[in-house]
Structure 1
Amino acid sequence: MTAADPTHPTAREYPEHWEADVVLRDGRTGHVRPITPEDAEGLVAFYAEVSDQSKYFRFFAPMPQLSEKDVRRFTHVDHHDRVAFVLTVAEKILAIASYELIKPGEAEVAFLVQDAHQGRGIGQLLLEHLAQAARERGVHRFVAEVLPDNQRMLQVFHEAGYEVTGGWGEGTMHLEFNIDPTDTALGVMAAREHRAEAASIDAFLSAKSVAVIGASRRSDTIGAALVRNLVLGDYAGRVYVVNPAADAVAGMPSYARVGDIPGDVDVAIVAVPAEAVQDVVLDCAAKGVHGLIVISSGFAETGEEGRQRQRRLVGLARSYGLRLIGPNALGVINTAVDISLNASLSPIMPPRGRAGFFCQSGALGSAILEKVRNRGLGLSTFVSAGNRADVSGNDLLQYWEEDETTEVVLLYLESIGNPRKFSRIARRVSRSKPVIAVRSGRTTQGVPMGHAVRSIEAPPAAVDAMFRQAGVIQVDTLDEMFDVAQLLAHQPLPAGARVAVVGNSDALGLLAADAAAASGLGVTRSIALGAEATADDFEDALDAVIDDPDVDGVVAIYIPPLNAGGAEVANALAAVAEQSDKPMVSSFLGREGVPELLRVPDLAGSTAGRGSVPSYPAVEQAVRALARVVEYAAWLDRQPDEEEVLSRIDHDSATKMLVGLLIEAPDGRDLSYAECQELLGHYGIDLWDRIPVTTAEEAVAAAEQLGWDVVLKATAEPLRQRPDLAHVWRNIEDADEMRHAYHQLTGIITSVEDAGFVVQKTAPPGVPVRIEGLEDPLFGPAVSFSISGAITELVGDQAYLIPPITGLDAFEAVRSIKAAPLLFGHRGSEAVDVASVEDLFRRVAALKHDLQQVCAIDLSLVHATAQGVKVLDAEIRVAPVIDPRSDWFTRRLNVHPGDTLPG
């Protein structure tokens, strides 16, 4: 019996958290998991389908079959010194990858992928998962022996993003590389993830053939509606209908099963009872269908039984390589001329346009399409994902990033399954395309019943900060989303926040000016033309403000006099706007959307092209939409300087310290003050000494040890929150003063034993600030900055950021709170060294980002002074990591809590 035997006393338990569903390069899915002894038969079958050349590349010698001893060695590992992963589809092994420890911190890796599945990115995926497992086991370096002719394997290593070194040795290439997740390696991983997930969505939206499963001859059924919408939408591909009880549906031949269809089927739309959907998955998998759009309800939205049914459905679909939209979905739409796909329950085919829309609620999806049509906005693509069990908004962001027909992204989010991944992708997409989001449950952080995700426990302000940092334009309502979208889809971005108001109504002009001031815009010109203003008057005034270098955007207001239609004025607005590089919004005849009179057709002949002028029923709506776009343009202009690397950070020592602490306290605990000093010190944060005391004489002795000029203060939480600061006695210089101070403080404190008296050096005068960090089980880490004190907490004057943060992030956060003037010499006080405050904020954020075991950190009292910052108090709690953060250093599809995946 060896240590590689799971029955050996040193063998480790099966690491279930290493299991992952993944998307391959071609957009199909697979399942990665550690190998088990039960894989012996599957391994033999896998090896039989590997070519002799691939076997030779793996073993450097002819090896037509695996011996019983070989099979046992490959399948019996300890998940520590010897680790192996397999990638499976339909429970068949397609690839295996392993590492074996050579010496502490270093392991040798090897891979074998079936020839038929080489070129699908499987090798890179398995390398990522091996590296993640190795890092968890304390391995930081991989080595590999590769034959020079094995170009695919050499390519896997060299394209991994790691710095690979090596040379020749006895006819083989010896490669070595450090597997710590560098920026380059993470960038390579993100690029591959992007291409794979975008490909999986493209297969849905560019499908050349669609099968409707559950099509019916009755016109009032869901299946019949799906067929009708596909046909009437002029779908360019083939439509097949599947109904075992009918020979024909809607004049088309009907097939009993998907497998009976003679041609290829790219996408299957499923509209059968919930209990029959799993059989459909198996039928579609056998046919080679790429993806499923499950319209059927009766899943997680119905309760626990439905949730279990939904988990089985997702697990089954992914295990067979299929992606799934739904269940309980409305469907998908692609308005491209060469596709014209309406694979949804909505009879409305929206006009072709520049906006891509993702939502979750089917009922809401129908209302959205109605609004889009009424406003003349136009969509490129539309996806209503229902319960969002598999395909999510993150997948659509990956697709829209490269989609040339989509210029604006619209998201209606009822839940966020992977917030950190969303933040990472959205931050990248927002740099090239504006992302507008409405988030339901924004205040309560609640999620609909059908969405099997945990609620976010972080404060709503922290979630808002994530959206803001990612450049997402977050709005409160669907109407506001369309207000902003129609501006972004048709007008250029503003260069600043200065606006001109041109109109023929003094009253509405004043309303516009008030709304601009309330929204952070500055009105630099206001031209009142009078009620009888002509089209020429409007054109002259608009030309003047467009040419004004002190104007960045224009608000045009037209209320027609009696018996005037406004066509000539509309032509003037459209003509000026089409030639302008500054955005124009209007309140034209109280219309909503992009009225026909204000549209400029684009080259493709769609209803409204670039230069069309959006109109709003109320001038306040127009100004508010413009203000949102100004904020987005300002975010785009933020170009942080070359980032200064924080010095005095010792991540390895901090990690080692936490490992030791959690070995002693496996359930976690609060750190002592001395332990806080040590941990903070590893991140370059100096926590001031303090000495606990319980008597006056102990306080005198502590003051002598510190050299006098000290503070005696109570540290119990209720006392620290007193606004009169009666729990603190400052500038104590000798023993008599200390005894007097101790007597006075104990006289006003009811429970002296619980007061937590300490003695500490007196800090120089300054502004008390507070920096906190928290860990949300789903959301991940967040940090906040505020002026210290109870009033701040009551009014919620805190700035939140999501690590990792840049120097520019810290710069803006410190200045964003309402009390920020206190740091900059308010009413003649001395300004503090704000740069040192920002540096401290970055260090706490770095600690919180690096060390997930730190579940809470609170620097509750930091004195910001003209000479720097003095950290006077800190509390830290550590706990074991039960669920790693949702954004791993590996590509993996989201797994909902409690889900069980096929093995």
Structure 2
Amino acid sequence: MSYSGGFNALERMFNPNSIAVIGASENPFKMGYYCLKSLLNFKGKVYPVNPNHSVVQGLKAYPSILDVPGEVDLAVIVTPAEQVLGVVEECAEKGVKGVVVITAGFREVGGNGLRLQEEMVRVARRSGMRILGPNTFGFVNAHAGVNATFTDVLGELKAGNIAVVTQSGGVCHLFCYDAITQGLGVSLAVGLGNRCDIDFPEMIRYLARDEKTKVIALHIEGLDDPRGFLEAAKETVKVKPIVVYKVGRAKVDREAISHTGSMAGDYRLYDALFKQAGIISVGSVTELFDASKALSITKPPKGRKVALVSVQAGPAIIISDVCKSNGLELPEFTEETRKKIESLLPPMTIRSNPVDLAFAYNPKVGLEAVRLAIQDSNVDMLIMFQLYHPAVPSIAKMLVEVVRESGKPAIVALHAPRNFVKSEVEALEMGGIPVYPTPERAAKAAVYLAKYKQVLDRINKTA
């Protein structure tokens, strides 16, 4: 669907100095109210456009975009569908660089809606203006302080290195709300909506060059340009990982059509496409979040061999099961490592791999066991599990230096009521160790790290 406008066109759109909200409102029951509210903390210029008000939410308002003084880099359009085409034409006349069309009622409803969307595209192509949407929640550029959405709380996103691009605004909100709650940084969050202009291939190419983005997370309902997607993804995975959650997998009586007007298609074809491109495919929003988080915080292992250290035996079995069922190995330690661990820990503990620290109440002893495990020559990465208990001293914060010295990636599963371990989680993730609340999620994160290493190995073999 997209036409080639280049990196610079999207760079200007996602990093505006001035923004107009067309359809801005004082009425909290209208979307235009929230679109403007989301931009009240923007450091650039914000222009409400409403022909019926001279002031909206404390800002001077203008009858139309043509009445706004000076240049406008970005326009957020939240007017009734039948007015959008005329507004887009005025934006083109004004010389606006890009528009976000929040309004729905276009391709996804067919008929006249499809015609209006096609007319919008023609206007954009004549003028060189870019369109995000229609039928989108907008975008957030956390580094630039731009919240061009109808959800003001998304302005709380921490600036980071994960770009999340979705067809569904709801799915993007799920990801971003978890990111806010967990303090995970996001570089860019984009809802493509109907993708009348900006589509997945162009976003992937843009993000491949974006220095603030390390990991690309995608939610896909359907693709209109699978060849363009494949070409863009194959080049991008050479420099940064792509994680995808493809929905619409279940068979229905007729071909599934998404709420953005996209054909869902046969999932087997998508699965083959993702494998050919070197994309990491996941099965839920939670896995999309977890895989992206791991890849953004730490590096992939050199191999698939995992050392598992746990303060509780039961969760260690869960981690072991998940690892082994997904192609990871729990190798035997070298004889030298085994002897050192056996001399360190009491006989009633499990001193092989997994290592059981249940009776190692001395944090120094537990930490030394971790050091021996991760530094073993048979080991490529470490997973550690610990439940909070006042009788069991935590060694989590001391892990950072041990892991750094090893040069290998590590993942921690740390679980506690409420915010009992919040400071430890922050310290670990600042130190390059991703933390998850359950054994399953930690193990699956390790699986995805190893999968990206497989992707890189395949690329190097064919280079």
Fold shared by both chains (TM-score > 0.5) = yes
Q: Where do residues 369-448 of structure 1 align in structure 2 (5 Å cutoff)?
A: 369-444=176-251, 447-448=256-257
Distance 1:447 1:388, change over 3 A: farther
Q: Which residue of 2 aligns with 1:574?
A: 400
Q: Is residue 343 from structure 1 mapped to residue 148 from structure 2 by the alignment?
A: yes
Matched residues in 1 for 2:462 and 2:454: separation?
19
CA contact (8 A) 2:222 2:263 kept: no
Q: Where do residues 528-567 of structure 1 align in structure 2 (5 Å cutoff)?
A: 528-531=356-359, 533-561=361-389, 563-564=390-391
Distance 1:560 1:595, change over 3 A: closer
Matched residues in 1 for 2:319 and 2:101: separation?
47
Q: Which residue of 2 aligns with 1:516?
A: 323
Matched residues in 1 for 2:2 and 2:127: separation?
11
Secondary structure class of the residue paired with 1:513: helix
Q: Where do residues 239-638 of structure 1 align in structure 2 (5 Å cutoff)?
A: 239-336=46-143, 339-347=144-152, 348-349=154-155, 350-444=157-251, 447-454=256-263, 456=265, 460-524=267-331, 525-531=353-359, 533-561=361-389, 563-564=390-391, 568-589=394-415, 595-600=422-427, 608-609=429-430, 611-638=431-458
CA contact (8 A) 1:437 1:472 kept: yes
Match among 212, 215, 218 for residue 24 of structure 2: 215
Matched residues in 2 for 1:564 and 1:307: separation?
64
Q: Partner amino acid for 1:541? A: A
Distance 1:383 1:467, change over 3 A: same
1:471 positional shift: 1.1
Matched residues in 2 for 1:438 and 1:592: separation?
29
Matched residues in 2 for 1:627 and 1:241: separation?
48
- Percent of aligned pairs with the same residue? 30
Q: Is residue 224 from structure 1 mapped to residue 33 from structure 2 by the alignment?
A: yes
Q: Deviations over 1:179-224 (max 9, x none)?
A: xxxxxxxxxxxxxxxxx1x222212211111100001122332112
Q: Deviations over 1:449-489 (max 9, x none)?
A: 44445554xx5333212101211100010101111111111
**Which of the pair is proportionally richer in strand?**
1
1:251 positional shift: 1.4
1:530 positional shift: 1.3
1:439 positional shift: 0.6
1:242 positional shift: 0.7
Q: Where do residues 445-844 of structure 1 align in structure 2 (5 Å cutoff)?
A: 447-454=256-263, 456=265, 460-524=267-331, 525-531=353-359, 533-561=361-389, 563-564=390-391, 568-589=394-415, 595-600=422-427, 608-609=429-430, 611-639=431-459
CA contact (8 A) 2:92 2:123 kept: no
1:636 positional shift: 0.2
Distance 1:410 1:304, change over 3 A: same
CA contact (8 A) 1:356 1:400 kept: yes
Matched residues in 2 for 1:333 and 1:205: separation?
8
Matched residues in 2 for 1:576 and 1:591: separation?
27
1:300 positional shift: 2.4
Distance 1:599 1:581, change over 3 A: farther
Secondary structure class of the residue paired with 1:281: helix
Runs of 4+, deviation exceeding 6 Å: 591-594
1:281 positional shift: 1.1
Distance 1:468 1:633, change over 3 A: same
Matched residues in 1 for 2:166 and 2:327: separation?
30
Higher relative contact order (CA 8 A, sep 6+): 2
Matched residues in 1 for 2:15 and 2:46: separation?
14
Q: Deviations over 1:97-134 (max 9, x none)?
A: xxxxxxxxxxxxxxxxxxxxxxxxxxxxxxxxxxxxxx
Deviates more, 1:366-375 or 1:200-209: 366-375
Matched residues in 2 for 1:462 and 1:501: separation?
36
CA contact (8 A) 1:492 1:581 kept: no
Q: Where do residues 13-412 of structure 1 align in structure 2 (5 Å cutoff)?
A: 22-23=3-4, 27=5, 196=6, 198-231=7-40, 234-336=41-143, 339-347=144-152, 348-349=154-155, 350-412=157-219
The RMSD of aligned alpha carbons is 2.4
Distance 1:505 1:22, change over 3 A: closer
CA contact (8 A) 2:2 2:196 kept: no
Secondary structure class of the residue paired with 1:569: coil
Matched residues in 1 for 2:362 and 2:292: separation?
30
Larger-gyration structure (1/2): 1
CA contact (8 A) 2:371 2:402 kept: yes
Secondary structure class of the residue paired with 1:269: strand
What residue ranges of structure 1 are gaps of 5+ in the alignment? 1-19, 28-195, 602-607, 644-903
CA contact (8 A) 2:382 2:409 kept: yes
Q: Partner amino acid for 1:550? A: N
Q: Deviations over 1:572-594 (max 9, x none)?
A: 23333344421111211258999
1:616 positional shift: 2.4
Distance 1:638 1:592, change over 3 A: farther
Secondary structure class of the residue paired with 1:255: coil
Q: Partner amino acid for 2:378? A: D
Q: Partner amino acid for 2:458? A: R
Matched residues in 2 for 1:328 and 1:298: separation?
7
Secondary structure class of the residue paired with 1:438: strand
Secondary structure class of the residue paired with 1:310: helix
TM-score by length of 1: 0.46
TM-score by length of 2: 0.88
Q: Partner amino acid for 1:551? A: V
CA contact (8 A) 1:331 1:343 kept: yes
Distance 1:384 1:504, change over 3 A: same
Q: Deviations over 1:662-709 (max 9, x none)?
A: xxxxxxxxxxxxxxxxxxxxxxxxxxxxxxxxxxxxxxxxxxxxxxxx
CA contact (8 A) 1:591 1:617 kept: no
Deviates more, 1:436-445 or 1:447-456: 447-456
Q: Which residue of 2 aligns with 1:757?
A: none
Secondary structure class of the residue paired with 1:624: helix
Distance 1:577 1:373, change over 3 A: farther
Matched residues in 2 for 1:599 and 1:578: separation?
16
CA contact (8 A) 2:300 2:449 kept: yes
Distance 1:429 1:287, change over 3 A: same
Q: Partner amino acid for 1:598? A: V
